[in-house]
């Protein structure tokens, strides 16, 4: 597994670094060997090895914000995550990229992947909903829709202000390429002249009334990406307006509770087959060391992560595919089976909850 995981990462050079707003910067990456560039679909993410504070590395996912037609390079657009309080550390990878990485630097990446991607076979009108730096996949999708499709498109983006609004000119240019693309920008803290100057089209939060006014009654494909509060609010509004859950595709990063409060969308990944012995539960138990809980494994859950969520426990997660490392926890004792090979090798005392099931009773550092 070590050789397979290691071989996926390839060296890429940072060929440009462009400040897009007060908090967001784009980095364009080119492979040192051209054959290591692989095609991707709008909406997918790549994975980068980032040095950590202990001399090792962590894995971080970044959506490719460039167009799939731009062969030979990938662009990622990253928000610098400053510490929210004095005793809280700053975002490890985002600050490293913003503060230390310059053109010419070499980084290691695994090529794009991911199930959140534009369905180019559909003929339905499209709504692209984004909040903050969550516009990275929707800008890539908009490029495809503007140049290769005649489907009606609504690009709706919310952010705090003009100062942090990234890729505005690019979106406006893409929208101008053909009829049938509508753009709406909403600033939470709009300045007095933002509306008059048409830097934004509404102020405050995106509301149910705003979406009803913007979107004619129709059967849409909706793609949504943004920070957890934005996702929770918009998912609730959309389902409240009668949008079918299967029409809402989303990219979500963070604690599971934030969407479940509003009715979490169904997982986008297909449950892998369950082995016969596991289907019976086999008397296995999952013990959570920190909380002292002891849970009987049901034998039917897709993964340990899904099982814990069903018990009302909400570990952090991101990709649910063994790529990002967000759901990694300590394995104090016991053995697990990986039904999907993780991107990076896990030590014997660590486990990825999203792609494992218990092989024996286990104790988690959770």
Burial 115-127 (b: 16+ CB within 10 A, else e): bbbbeeeeeebbb
Q: Is residue 144 part of a domain?
A: yes
Judgement on whether residues 106 and 131 belong to the same structural domain of the protein: no
Which of 267 and 355 is assigned the larger pLDDT?
Answer: 355
- Residue 65 is part of which domain span? 8-113
Judgement on whether residues 81 and 29 belong to the same structural domain of the protein: yes
> How far is it, in rounded angstroms, from Cα 180 to Cα 123?
14
Judgement on whether residues 238 and 208 belong to the same structural domain of the protein: yes
Q: Is residue 348 part of a domain?
A: yes
- The 10s digit of each residue's pLDDT in 328-365 is 999 999 999 998 878 777 899 999 999 999 999 999 99
Is residue 128 a contact partner of residue 175, using CB atoms and an 8 Å limit?
no
Q: In the structure, what pLDDT confidence band is assigned to residue 58 with cuts at 50, 70 and 90?
A: confident
> How far is it, in rounded angstroms, from Cα 44 to Cα 30?
17
- The 10s digit of each residue's pLDDT in 293-333 is 999 999 888 899 989 988 888 787 777 777 777 899 999 99
- Kind of pairing, strands 74-79 and 24-31? antiparallel
Q: In the structure, what pLDDT confidence band is assigned to residue 1 with cuts at 50, 70 and 90?
A: very low
Q: Which of 258, 269, 285, 260 is nearest to 339 (CA)?
A: 269
Q: Is residue 267 part of a domain?
A: no
DSSP conformation class of 215: S
Average pLDDT value over all residues in the chain: 87
Judgement on whether residues 219 and 345 belong to the same structural domain of the protein: no
Judgement on whether residues 45 and 95 belong to the same structural domain of the protein: yes
> How far is it, in rounded angstroms, from Cα 168 to Cα 221?
23
Judgement on whether residues 89 and 167 belong to the same structural domain of the protein: no
Domain count, the chain: 3
- Kind of pairing, strands 328-333 and 362-364? antiparallel
Q: In the structure, what pLDDT confidence band is assigned to residue 147 with cuts at 50, 70 and 90?
A: very high
Instruction: Look up residue 122 and give its two tokens.
Output: 């559909």
pLDDT at position 278 is 42
Judgement on whether residues 167 and 247 belong to the same structural domain of the protein: yes
The H or E element spanning position 172 is helix 168-175
Judgement on whether residues 339 and 256 belong to the same structural domain of the protein: no
Beta partners for residue 126, in sequence order: 153, 221
Burial (CB count <10 Å: 0-12, 13-18, 19+), residue 253: middle
Judgement on whether residues 139 and 255 belong to the same structural domain of the protein: yes
Is residue 158 a contact partner of residue 205, using CB atoms and an 8 Å limit?
yes
pLDDT at position 279 is 43
CATH number reported for the structural domain that contains residue 333 in this entry = 3.10.20.30
CA distances from 95 to 52, 63, 300, 325 (A): 12, 17, 41, 19
Block residue for tokens 């053109």: 103
Q: In the structure, what pLDDT confidence band is assigned to residue 258 with cuts at 50, 70 and 90?
A: very low
Q: Is residue 3 part of a domain?
A: no
Burial (CB count <10 Å: 0-12, 13-18, 19+), residue 4: exposed
Q: Is residue 271 part of a domain?
A: no
Block residue for tokens 């099931």: 357
CATH number reported for the structural domain that contains residue 238 in this entry = 3.40.50.80
> How far is it, in rounded angstroms, from Cα 297 to Cα 129?
38
CATH number reported for the structural domain that contains residue 81 in this entry = 2.40.30.10
pLDDT at position 86 is 52
pLDDT at position 89 is 56
Q: Is residue 1 part of a domain?
A: no
pLDDT at position 207 is 96
pLDDT at position 321 is 75
Which of 91, 113, 135 terminates a domain? The answer is 113
> How far is it, in rounded angstroms, from Cα 200 to Cα 212?
18
> How far is it, in rounded angstroms, from Cα 146 to Cα 149?
6
Length of the chain: 366
Judgement on whether residues 151 and 240 belong to the same structural domain of the protein: yes
Judgement on whether residues 83 and 144 belong to the same structural domain of the protein: no
Q: Is residue 186 part of a domain?
A: yes
Is residue 166 a contact partner of residue 24, using CB atoms and an 8 Å limit?
yes
Block residue for tokens 């894995």: 59
pLDDT at position 263 is 47
Judgement on whether residues 256 and 333 belong to the same structural domain of the protein: no
Instruction: Look up residue 317 and give its two tokens.
Output: 């997660």
């Amino acid at each position: 597994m070590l050789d397979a995981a290691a071989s996926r990462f390839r060296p890429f050079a940072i060929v440009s670094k462009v400040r897009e707003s007060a908090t967001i910067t784009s980095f364009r990456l080119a492979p040192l060997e051209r054959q290591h560039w692989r095609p991707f679909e709008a909406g997918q993410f790549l994975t980068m090895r980032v040095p950590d504070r202990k001399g090792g590395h962590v894995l971080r996912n970044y959506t490719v914000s460039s167009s799939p037609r731009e062969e030979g390079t990938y662009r990622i657009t990253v928000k610098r995550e400053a510490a929210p309080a004095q005793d809280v550390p700053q975002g490890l990878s985002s600050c490293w990229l913003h503060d230390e990485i310059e053109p010419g630097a070499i980084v290691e990446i695994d090529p794009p992947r991911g199930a959140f991607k534009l369905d180019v076979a559909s003929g339905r009108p499209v709504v692209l909903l984004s909040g903050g730096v969550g516009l990275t996949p929707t800008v890539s999708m908009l490029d495809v829709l503007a140049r290769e499709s005649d489907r009606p498109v609504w690009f709706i983006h919310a952010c705090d202000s003009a100062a942090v609004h990234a890729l505005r000119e690019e979106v406006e240019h893409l929208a101008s390429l053909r009829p049938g693309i509508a753009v709406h920008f909403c600033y939470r803290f709009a300045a007095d002249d933002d509306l008059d100057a048409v830097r934004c089209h509404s102020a405050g939060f995106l509301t149910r009334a705003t979406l009803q006014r913007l979107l004619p009654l129709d059967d849409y494909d909706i793609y949504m990406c943004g920070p957890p509060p934005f996702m929770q609010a918009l998912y609730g509004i959309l389902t409240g307006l009668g949008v079918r859950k299967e029409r809402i595709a989303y990219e979500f990063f963070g604690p599971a509770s934030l969407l479940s409060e509003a009715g979490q969308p169904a997982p986008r990944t297909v449950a892998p087959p369950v082995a016969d012995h596991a289907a019976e539960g086999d008397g296995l138990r999952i013990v959570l060391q920190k909380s002292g809980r002891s849970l009987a494994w049901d034998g039917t859950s897709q993964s340990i992560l899904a099982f814990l969520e069903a018990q009302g426990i909400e570990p952090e997660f991101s990709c649910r595919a063994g790529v990002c490392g967000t759901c990694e926890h300590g394995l104090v004792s016991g053995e697990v089976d990986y039904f999907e090979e993780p991107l990076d090798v896990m030590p014997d005392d660590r486990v990825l909850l999203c792609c494992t099931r218990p092989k024996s009773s286990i104790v988690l550092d959770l």
